[in-house]
Chains A and B, each alone.
Chain A
Amino acid sequence: GAGVSQSPSNKVTEKGKDVELRCDPISGHTALYWYRQSLGQGLEFLIYFQGNSAPDKSGLPSDRFSAERTGGSVSTLTIQRTQQEDSAVYLCASSLGYRDSNYGYTFGSGTRLTVV
């Protein structure tokens, strides 16, 4: 696609439910990143994928968070048993590859998750 696409744009869920957030990177981009942006805060790194390599999960805040990337393209971030502190904007970004990431990422418009 022309840009990084994220869906849904907004999601309201009840505490304790599971949610899935989707990211469709730019076609041909092999590197994909997830960030979390809590209200009024900066971006917190969650996880990144590079090609077929094992993902770097070092930023995931708890074992309720997981992500996968199928076929080296679309990625899904799953939050199980959501808590109110999970409310945030979840941003996805992609770059052409490892080395091209030095030129910066292209971000999607994010998913605003609200846990009630």
Chain B
Amino acid sequence: EPEVTQTPSHQVTQMGQEVILRCVPISNHLYFYWYRQILGQKVEFLVSFYNNEISEKSEIFDDQFSVERPDGSNFTLKIRSTKLEDSAMYFCARSDRNYGYTFGSGTRLTVV
């Protein structure tokens, strides 16, 4: 089963700062996703990314969020000006017809 690697595993940032979360999926796949899980809550969809473009995004994914695949392999989620309520586990994922979704181990973002 294919793997997804996320870095860093934990990031602490001050409110108002920009953060970039990184994901390294298998480079020949086209569909990637970001999800998040606030402590004690459901895992929530943020955005899907296909062929270097956003294909779908949730109401959570406002102008403070952006995604890109800058070098054809890394897949990044940027939060421009973090808020306390952005504190959560952020998961990168890829999907496949045979395996379904494969999630990374997550980045725990703590905004102080």
- Are chains A and B native binding partners rather than an unrelated pairing? no
